[in-house]
A and B are shown apart, each in its own frame.
Chain A
Amino acid sequence: MVEGPFGIDPVLWAVLRLAIAIVLVIALIMNGALLLIYLERKMQAVMQDRIGPYHVGPFGLLQTFADAIKLIAKEDVRASQTDATFFIAAPALVFSPMLAAFVVVPFAPPIVGADLSIGLLYLTTLGAMGVLGIVIAGWASNNKYALMGGLRSAGQLISYEIPQILSLVTAVLVLGTLSMVEITELQPGPITNIFVLPLAFVTFFMAALAETNRTPFDLPEAESELVAGYLTEYSGMRWGTMLALTEYGNVTIVCAIMTTLWFGGWNGPGVEAFPILGILWFTLKTYAFILVFMWIRATLPRLRIDQLMSFCWKGLIPLTLLNLGVTAALLLAFPDTLVPVAIANWLLLGAFALGLPALQRRRLRRIRARLGAGAMPAPRSAS
Chain B
Amino acid sequence: MLQLIEPFMFGLLTVSILGAGLAVVLAPRITTSALAMAFAFLNVAGMFVLLGAETVAAFQVLIYVGAITVLILYGVMFTPQQPRAYGLFFQGQTPWGALLAALVALPVVIVAFTFVDAGVALEPGNDLRPLGTSVFRDFAFPFEVASLLLLAAMIGAIALVRREREIEEPPGAPHDPQRRGPRR
Residues of A near any B CB (own CB < 8 A): 10-11, 14, 83, 85-86, 89, 116-118, 121-122, 124-126, 128-129, 131-132, 135-136, 139, 147, 151, 154, 158, 161, 178, 303-304, 306-307, 310, 360, 363-364, 367-368, 370-371, 377-381
Contacts and interface: CB of A to CB of B under 8 A. Distances in A.
Contacts of A11: 1-2, 5
Contacts of B31: 83, 86, 139
A122 B178 contact: no
B66 A125 contact: yes
A377 B177 contact: no
Contact of A131 (B70, B175, B176, B180): B70
30 contacts: A11-B1, A11-B2, A14-B2, A89-B35, A122-B54, A124-B62, A128-B61, A128-B62, A128-B65, A129-B61, A131-B70, A132-B66, A132-B70, A132-B73, A136-B73, A139-B31, A151-B74, A178-B128, A303-B178, A306-B180, A307-B178, A360-B177, A363-B177, A367-B172, A367-B181, A377-B173, A378-B172, A378-B173, A380-B176, A381-B170
Contacts of B35: 86, 89, 136
B150 interface: no
A135 B73 contact: yes
A381 B169 contact: yes
Interface of B: 1-2, 5, 31-32, 35, 38, 54-55, 58-59, 61-62, 65-67, 69-70, 73-74, 77, 125-126, 128, 169-181
Nearest to B45: A125
Nearest to A150: B77
B66 A128 contact: yes
**Would you call the interface of chain A mostly helix, strand, loop, or mixed?**
helix
A379 B175 CA distance: 11
Contact of B69 (A14, A121, A125, A132): A132
Contacts of B66: 125, 128-129, 131-132, 161
Tell me the interface secondary structure of chain B in the complex: helix
Contacts, number: 106
B81 to A, nearest CB: 10
Nearest to B62: A125
A377 B73 contact: no
A370 B171 contact: yes
A364 B178 CA distance: 8
A179 B109 CA distance: 38
B157 to A, nearest CB: 16
A380 B74 contact: no
A371 B171 contact: yes
Nearest to B170: A378
A158 B66 CA distance: 9
Nearest to A370: B171
A371 B174 contact: yes
B95 to A, nearest CB: 32
Contacts of B176: 380
Nearest to B66: A128
> 4 closest A-B pairs (Cβ-Cβ)?
A128-B66, A378-B170, A377-B173, A364-B177
